[in-house]
């Protein structure tokens, strides 16, 4: 197998990666979140830096144990909500050659965030949810010439569609050159060190499927990015 860090095929490339999961506040102490640890996104950041890229990691609640593995040469900027993540990605997009949206972005935020910590005596709790903006769609709409944008999709198979079929539809909808489709489930994908990711290219063809460590998946994704830019 390839020696880790042996290749410098992303030398000087400016790569901005979002990772982790956004949290949407309910009140000052509570939030709606998801199970993303940020491990896969952090692995991509690390692999990209090893291959010579200049990396910015936009971190949405990446787990502490994962943050510890990120060396100083990777610039980290922390965000909380989907809205903050969107603003931060937009701020960095202008100077990026490659944008990778691996963060699990909350599809909805709470419309009626309580000013004070809610108590049961305040009565039954009803949360009104409103849809968050699609950050990836915004980045694609504002794409600079020569900029490569990679999306992720966490999918479960249905009775009629495979994970890959769902990914192909999502890639078209998102308009990205590359979509990394990640199968998720109760036991799959999140909070694990191993992963299985299929990359779908602009022609709807499967570029590669990698089952292995998140680092191996990261290198396969960067192989595809490098060949798109080559
Ligand atoms: N994404 C985003 N902004 C959102 C939601 C998702 O930028 N508000 C990005 C994710 O970071 C990921 C890609 O879009 O790179 C696909 O996310 P996913 O949740 O699979 O897609 P959705 O469009 O939200 O569709 P679904 O209804 O299946 O959740
Ligand atoms: Ca979603």
ipTM of predicted complex: 0.99
pTM (two decimals): 0.95
Check residues 192 and 38 and name the one with the higher pLDDT: 38
Q: How confident is the model at residue 25 (pLDDT cuts 50, 70, 90)?
A: very high
- What tokens appear for 149 in the block? 């944008």
Q: Is 174 annotated as a binding residue?
A: yes
pLDDT given at position 26: 98
pLDDT of residue 49: 97
H or E segment and range at residue 27:
strand 24-27
34 as an active site residue: the answer is: yes
Query: What is the band of 4 on the pLDDT scale with cuts at 50, 70, 90?
Result: low
- Residue 2, pLDDT above cutoff 80: no
Res. 61 pLDDT band, cuts 50 70 90: very high
Please indicate if the annotation marks 214 as binding a ligand: no
Average pLDDT over residues 127-136: 98
- Residue bearing the CA closest to ligand 1, atom 24: 107
Instruction: Tell me which of 60, 82, 107 to substitute to probe ligand 1's pocket, judged by most ligand atoms within 8 Å of the beta carbon.
Output: 107
Distance CA 85, CA 208 (A): 29
Q: Is the pLDDT of residue 45 over 80?
A: yes
């Amino acid at each position: 197998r390839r020696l880790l860090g042996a290749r410098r095929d992303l030398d000087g490339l400016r790569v901005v990666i979002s990772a982790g999961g956004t949290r949407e506040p309910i009140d000052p102490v509570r939030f709606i979140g998801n199970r993303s640890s940020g491990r896969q996104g952090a692995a991509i950041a690390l692999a990209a830096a090893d291959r010579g890229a200049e990396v910015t990691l936009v971190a949405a609640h990446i787990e502490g144990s994962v943050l510890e593995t990120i060396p100083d040469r990777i610039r980290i900027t922390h965000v909380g909500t989907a809205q903050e993540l969107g603003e931060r990605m937009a701020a960095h997009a202008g100077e990026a050659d490659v944008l990778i949206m691996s963060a699990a972005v909350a599809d909805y935020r709470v419309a009626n965030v309580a000013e004070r910590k809610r108590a049961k005596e305040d009565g039954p709790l009803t949360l009104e949810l409103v849809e968050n903006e699609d950050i990836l769609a915004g980045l694609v709409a504002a794409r600079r010439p020569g900029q490569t944008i990679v999306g992720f999709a966490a999918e479960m198979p249905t009775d009629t569609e495979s994970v890959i079929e769902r990914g192909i539809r999502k890639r078209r909808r998102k308009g990205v050159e590359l979509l990394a489709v990640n199968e998720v489930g109760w036991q799959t994908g999140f909070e694990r060190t191993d992963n299985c990711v299929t990359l779908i290219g602009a022609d709807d063809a499967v570029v590669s499927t990698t089952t292995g460590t998140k680092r191996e998946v990261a290198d396969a994704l960067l192989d595809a990015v490098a060949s798109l830019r080559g």
